[in-house]
Every structure is written in C-alpha cells, then in structure tokens.
Structure 1
Amino acid sequence: MQHGQRRTGPHRTFEELVAEGAAVPTEGWDFSWFEGRATEARPSWRYAESLAGRLAGARAALDVQTGGGEVLGLALGAAPHRPRPVAATEGWPPNVARATALLRPYGVVVVAVPDDAPLPFADGAFDLVSSRHPVRPHWNEIARVLQPGGTYAAQHVGPASVFELVEYFRGPRPEEQRGARHPDRERADAEAAGREVVVLRAERLRREFHDIAAVVHFLRKVVWMVPDFTVEAYEDRLRALHERIATEGPFVAHSTRHLFDVRKPAGTG
C-alpha cells in the first residue's frame, strides 16, 4: 500500500494496520497522515496564526527547534510582512534537511544545532524568538540572543501529555516524571533568568486514536513517549489495544499545552 492510500472498513487486520503504521516516514512535524484515523483538539490561542502576527511586527526573528519547519513556514506564509533576517535551529539531521528545503523560499537560514547546545548567534541578535514544542527551553540562551525589550513567544508541551497512552505501554510513571514540564516550574525558571512572563495560558486537549496504525506511527514519530518502542517489543500490548479499539471505540488520551509570552526587560543584558 502506498503512502497516503488507506483501505478503510472493518476487514483490515491487525497485521495490515501495524505494517502501515510502521512504514510511514516520520521526518518533520507534518501530522496530516493522521487525518481520518486520529484527532486532537487544538489550543484556543491558534499558535501559528499568533506567530504570523508576531513575525509581521518583528525586525529579526529566530525559531528554535523548528522541527521540519512546517509551523514557521505556515506562519511566514500568512504574515503580511516578514522580518529580515529570519533564522531557525534544529537538532535532528533529517529535520534539518526538511526544514531547509521548506523554508528556503522564505529566505530562512536553518542552522543545525543540538537541542542542548548554545545558540550560535550574537548577543541581542533578535527581537523575537519563537518555538513550538521545544524539548526544553534554555532560558539563559534565549535571553542572551534577545534584544532588550524583545519577546519569546512559544507553545510548550505540558505535564503528563498523552500519558494515558504512555502508561498503557509502560505502566504508571513516577510523580516526578508526571510533573515535568509543568508551566509553573517553567515560569519560575524564566523569572529566575531575569525574564518577565507576560502571558502564560494552559489547556488540556482531547486526543483520539481510531486505529492501531495511528498508535504505531505516533509512537515512532514522538519517540520520547515510549523510548524503547518497537512493534516487536510491544506486539502483545499493541494487539490487545487493537482489539480494544475494535470493541470499544477510539482510545482517548489528553494532550497538555501552554502558551508563553516572555519579555526581556529593557535595559537588561
């Protein structure tokens, strides 16, 4: 079966669905493949649209951990005016190549930078830094490359996101892991770095998986959810979940997201 072709209906076997989910490429952050087989409610603040407005008013912008560049490209395409320059960083080589190809028409320079490395830009180089779902925000580096008065505008993944699925495969997670990425902790870290949190909003959003192919592809794509995931290692749990979905309907989980608007106060270094 070619990518994009789907045979729907009650007669698809577990083996067919798993094979399909295991064959889909995982590069980038384009989730269009899930259409019709998984759903996720979107945050009310419409991050890409908000970013487009931010970009229209910026002079120099940086997108950190841009993935395949899909969200930045969407925002740049919708922005009535674009800053110059625009740069982006990404740490995973397949995504670097994808983002470079996607963002080149917008004049974006994509720089390969490991997620935990210092940003290779001068102090105060940008008045806008953005990021959608960074692995971890490096507040000191973000503050360093921002101009005084500049803004960090981002959407972060929140605590225990999609943990219903994680715990189905891995069992109950320790409380310290469930509390990681909590917006209050991240607010405290930003403020400890001398930054002013202007806006912080959080939402919990319903997600449904309608077949086991969607589960397999999701766990292959979002690798930190179940780090040791392979179809072979989890075949029994996958088969049981396939039967549960067939009998009870979609597997329901919840994503957590929070929106940050953080300002570097004027007159600070």
Structure 2
Amino acid sequence: MRHWVTTCLAVATAAVVTVAAQQNATLTLASGERLQGQLVDLGGSGFTFRVNGQDRQIPRGDVRIIDFGDPAADAPEAAKNLPAGTNLLVLRNGETVQGEFYDVGGTTPLRITFRTSGGERTVNADEVQRIYMTRVDGGDSAGGSGGSLQGQTITVSARTRWTPTNITVSRGQTVRFQASGEIRFSPRGHVATPAGSQDGLFDSNAPMPSVPQGALIGRVGGSGRGGGSVFQIGSQESVVMPADGQLFLSVNDSGLNDNSGAFTVVVAPQ
C-alpha cells in the first residue's frame, strides 16, 4: 500500500513539474504574426512553443520579440540601437541586458539564460518583461515592422495554385509584403507559417523545391496554372520583382487538395 501511495505521489509531482515548466508568452514573428501560448524550450533548431496544447518548432531567426508581459509596451532605446546578432533582455524592474539568448531551462519557474561579455546571466522568467531577438524600429512596440503596412490585402488559400492579386509590377520594382496566418498541408496536418514548414520539410515537386514546404511564394507573369518567374517571399518584408507582369501568390506545395487554411498578405508596391 505504501509503495502504491509513494508511486502516485511521484507521478503527481512529476505532472506538476511538467506543467510548471511552461511559461505564458506572446511571440512576434518576422512576418508580423503573433502567437500566444507557452514557451517550453530553446534548442539547436529554435524555440519549442506550445499553442493550444500542441508543440511547434519555430526557427530562432523567425522570432523578433518574446513578450512575458504587456505586448503593447514601448520599446526601450537599447532595443532601437541593438547591434546585429545581439539579443536584448528587458526585466520587469527596467534593467536591460545585452548578449545572446542562450538557454531555456528549469521548472518552477522557467529560467532564461543570457551569455554576456561578463559571463552567463540567468533569471527567472517571471522577472522578464520582454526579449528582443533583433533591433526594432523607433515606432515598434511588439508589432510588425513600424506598424501595419498600408496596401492591398490578399487572402492566399492553401488550396489554390496561384491567387491573382490584380497588381501589375515591373522588373526591378520593390514590393513590400506583410504576411500572417498559418496553413496545414498533407494528411498529417503539418503546419506552415509564411516562412514555411514548422518541421523543416521540403517538397521536391513544389514550385520551388529548395524553399521550405508551405512557404509563401510569388510569381510574376505567365498564364493559366504556370509559367512566369517564381520567387520566394516567406517572411521577407520586401522583394525586388524579377520580371514584368501581373503578380500572383501561392503556397510552396505540390499537392493542394489536402491543404487547409490561408495566409493573409498585405501587398504594397513601392
């Protein structure tokens, strides 16, 4: 009897520790998309982030800001002048720490470790207001690049090969994009953001085999279901057009019938 009780207590304790090892957070991605969930881990492939009970792997380079507090808070001056390749830790007491966001660990609460010029600095996640993964513009809080992009909004269904934008572009012209949302592709329900597959998948038969599966792509010119010049958009905020003609948008996948979801893309020719 004692052994059974001891075992139950151990299992219950482990369950509590597992739950406590998560920390509620809001991620702002390079695409402008925001994800709300729990930060679970940081590894070689990026962040493990739990959304609606499902773990997602998010590449480190896709994340701009991690909020543990108010996502609408203004960016400090240090975030506006952050050197390339440097991260910024902002504590709730107002202190800022520059360095490399190195590790997520611990249990109750989660612990955040930064590598700085003076050595490693570890703080509890409940002491953290925000982490900047890259420099932000002066007008940024945790939103997209300088706020909402003004342009034409296009819904890009994951089941449509090429969605026309009815926008005509010229070779060498810069077009700005602000993409958000997520799609699911394949019967297994793999998830992709505009940057591409969250599982690092590629499709050798997709329009762009070397670009992550499910990523947002564009095409200029052509007719019907193909032709023209195809290019990657992903999480890029601006792209130089490769040709003259009408701009089309799609997802980088060879089989669309088992897909679901859509990207919302704001397009602004410059």
TM bin (shorter chain): under 0.3
Higher relative contact order (CA 8 A, sep 6+): 1
Structure (1 or 2) with the greater strand fraction: 2
TM-score normalised by the chain length of structure 1: 0.24
Larger radius of gyration, structure 1 or 2? 2
TM-score normalised by the chain length of structure 2: 0.24
Structure (1 or 2) with the greater helix fraction: 1
